[in-house]
Structure 1
């Protein structure tokens, strides 16, 4: 039997080649994959938000595992993969604290106008009378969390430390101390700040719709650290421009990288380039988990972190 090939699915994963090769695996990249290697690809190491179509996967006759370095796996049709004998793993919970930290950072940066204030100072626009028009603080504000998984719970705990009133919505009940809203729309209407922290899938595409956005309202803030697909981005931009939504702070976008021109004239936004989960602490853990899943699979052993059925 030919030596199994571990294929990197995207250029951003190029740094993962070294730990895979150090573990003794033959590594190839999708963007330079030869036909000889294609036939022997047993594993794809993947960034889960990037689409892997069944049509492409069918060109890899020996494929048995997709090991997502990321927590999310919304670019992978897990049901199709399982039906075709392909296992899918991910980095469950390994960067939840880092993403939650970033979400709180986005809240502070936007709600307290920190980014805008930095710009004012640097551009020479500091006026003393501006200090007499402060924004509200965070204590006693209502924070709604869409999706109370590991990230959502970590956001809720952090928000409580700021004295915020936390509630949440998700499709399934949970035994937690925070009240569950009856719907996403109800959560939005009762929140000063709505944090989107859910797992993305086909069921919640553009779930943060125009109605939800307008329910948060002209004094409210929407923070997205989940996936760009969960928010109707066109509706969000229109609401910010029209003043029907007060502010938005986003780490994820409908298309990535998002075009700079798309946001050039959109007011009251804080934007970061999908970096919430990538720290010097979390990335090594996530890469190590993916490498371990590759090792276990190729050794014929059960993988360590399969995607839940």
Structure 2
């Protein structure tokens, strides 16, 4: 990972004291214990506790640790005059008001790179499960139905995989797909010079038209909301499969439900959805939809790596050094 260039120019922590840290999402006690060695932690994983914490401790909070889905709002930043460092635990930071933070000179970091391999593994697991209909196969077996009465499922090898968002995670997915002898294409805002082995498409629609399967791995935010719409889903076709391990906002849930109901898409496997943390009700009755609870990046190894990276960035901020993974 390359070093950033941001040097802390906000209120530094008081020498010898533990800065107050506002923790805005659930975290295992073992990892909270690591934080408490260096910070006075204010645990506020719910909206009510969050509002209470900002009101009661805003004047003294120096550090905020959040995630992209939870974020940090401009009015909360304004209520914390000593705030000097904000970090997203994972790679995403779409709901952090970056402009408001930068206007205050607040150091910003994320957990880029810590769970890329884990997410890529999960993406391939979802793809294989969807194309090979593993949940349906197991249910049939448990009901006493043997293979002779079941439809043949297609292979994954030799097929065309489209990747929407060829960032660090997308590249790892592409390498795993290559091991399955798949042909890989991608759509990005721009061509990656180091992705010469993969075909570039200048639109999501052209990528979906070419691909047998589409994996969504692009960042969330207003610019990518519903980028996978009805037209893109229809272009994948009745034998196509959609995998989303990015953000739920990228896929139009209502459009997905309609193409599935109309038989215009072979299947979908989603780790993220617009209704999080609630399951997408529109999709629950489809047997060819696989849902996991936003766990693609979660493993003991990857979670520990995110905590370690946050602590490294916090130490660099404290010492006025460039952050390891600045936003």
Give the TM-score normalised by structure 2. 0.88
**Structure 2 residue aligned with 1:7:** 22
Q: Does 1:110 align with 2:130?
A: yes
Q: Does 1:98 align with 2:122?
A: no
Query: Could you say which structure has the greater relative contact order, defined with CA pairs below 8 angstroms and 6 or more residues apart?
Result: 2
Q: Does 1:288 align with 2:288?
A: no
**Structure 2 residue aligned with 1:163:** 181
Return 5+ residue gaps in structure 2 as ranges.
1-13
The change in CA–CA distance for 1:223 and 1:87 in structure 2 (over 3 A counts) is: same
Deviation at 1:53, TM superposition (A): 1.7
Give the TM-score normalised by structure 1. 0.92
**Structure 1 residue aligned with 2:255:** 235
Give the one of 252, 270, 273 matched to 2:290: 270
Give the one of 21, 24, 32 matched to 1:17: 32
Matched residue pairs, number? 304
Give the one of 235, 238, 246 matched to 2:266: 246
Per-residue Cα deviation, 1:213-266 (whole angstroms, up to 9, x for no partner): 111111100000000011111111121122111100000111211236443312
Pairing of 1:1-309 with structure 2 (within 5 A):
4-12=19-27, 16-22=31-37, 24-30=38-44, 31=49, 33=53, 35=55, 37-122=57-142, 124-131=143-150, 133-175=151-193, 176=195, 177-259=197-279, 261-307=281-327
Q: Distance in 1 between matches of 2:124 and 2:18?
A: 46
**What is the DSSP-based 3-state SS (H/G/I as helix, E as strand, rest coil) of the residue aligned with 1:115?**
helix
Q: Distance in 2 between matches of 1:294 and 1:159?
A: 36
**What is the DSSP-based 3-state SS (H/G/I as helix, E as strand, rest coil) of the residue aligned with 1:11?**
coil
Aligned-pair RMSD on alpha carbons? 1.8
**Stretch moving more, 257-266 or 147-156:** 257-266
Q: Distance in 2 between matches of 1:232 and 1:260?
A: 11
**What is the DSSP-based 3-state SS (H/G/I as helix, E as strand, rest coil) of the residue aligned with 1:278?**
coil
Per-residue Cα deviation, 1:120-144 (whole angstroms, up to 9, x for no partner): 122x14144325x311101221100
Runs of 4+ off more than 4 Å: 12-15
